[in-house]
Amino acid sequence: MQRYKIIIEYDGSNYVGWQKQDNGLSIQESLQIAIKKQTQENVEVFGAGRTDAGVHALGQVAHFDLDRNLTIKEIQDGLNQYLRPQPIAIIEAKKVEKDFHARFSAKKRIYSYTIVNRRSPLTIDKNKAWVVHKKLDTELMNSASKFFIGNHDFTSFRSSSCQANSPFKTIDKVRVLREFNNIFIKVEAKSFLQSQVRIMVGTLVNVGEGKLKPKDIELIIKSRKRSKAGPTAPSEGLFLTTVIY
């Protein structure tokens, strides 16, 4: 049996998320169907990040096992053929050892959130960004972002449906970058709670709008109350960009 690692790019707009569910088509299920069509084998595909409904990926990583020993070209080209016309693409494929696990072997995940800060509605970036009409102060947002760094109890920044055993997570980096009307919020950590990045983004937007002060982030974390944090940012602005092993 051979284990394969794949790097996947996808537009998550019309999917229920990464994980297979009963209420609609997921990225995981789409990949498993494509593999079955190509190989006639029923496999389970394991992903590095369980992206929510509407979230996109530029560098999602997954693995699966096959009885057949196919070439890398056969895996990549074959899966891309059977995935058409879905907005899912295999960017890279390779053979890996049996001890590799897309989720548990990952050392760091990097997410990027895109905000378009302007009065006009979205056209080109529709379903790929959150348009915020009120002018945002990115210097204040950057100052506030520093309070997220480190190991904290992120109860205030987790979804009510989050099933993680512990609310403690370690954030390695948070950066807020502005390029004209585009604001990019990049967050790096080994793992995240459900909706954590989106709630962090929503809270930083509150800071940028002047509804919160940068120092308030520290108080919100210490409060351990979801009601104290900002709104959950829309899913369409979030991208899983990189998984590091």
Contacts of 240 (CB under 8 A, 6+ apart): 48, 49, 51, 55, 56, 57, 58, 59, 60, 109, 110, 111
pTM of this structure: 0.95
DSSP 52: B
What's the pLDDT at 156? 98
| CA 181 from centre of chain | 22
- pLDDT value at position 50? 92
Contacts of residue 29, Cβ cutoff 8 Å, sequence gap at least 6: 20
Tell me the mean pLDDT in the region 230-245.
98
Position 125 scores a pLDDT of: 94
Mean of all residue pLDDT scores within the chain: 97
Lowest mean pLDDT among 20-24, 38-42, 86-90, 183-187: 20-24
Query: What confidence tier does 189 reach under pLDDT thresholds 50, 70, 90?
Result: very high
* pLDDT single digits (tens) 160-185: 999 899 999 999 999 999 999 999 99
Average pLDDT over residues 210-223: 98
CA 113/CA 91 separation, integer angstroms = 21
Q: What is the pLDDT of residue 32?
A: 98
Please check whether the domain covering 108-244 is classified as CATH 3.10.20.310. no
Domain borders along the chain are 2-96, 108-244
Per CATH, 2-96 and 108-244 having the same topology is answered: yes
pLDDT at 171: 98
| Rounded Cα–Cα distance for residues 162 and 88 (Å) | 26
pLDDT tens-place string over residues 66-83: 998 999 999 999 999 999
Question: Does the domain at residues 2-96 carry the CATH identifier 3.30.70.580?
Answer: yes
Task: Identify the band that residue 31 occupies on the pLDDT scale cut at 50, 70 and 90.
Answer: very high
pLDDT of residue 244: 98
Mean pLDDT of 12-26: 95
pLDDT band at 15 (very low <50, low <70, confident <90, very high): very high
In this predicted model, what pLDDT tens digit does every residue of 100-136 receive, in sequence order?
Answer: 999 999 999 999 999 999 999 999 999 999 999 999 9
pLDDT of res. 166: 96
d(CA 236, CA 110): 16
Catalytic site positions: 52
pLDDT of 20: 93
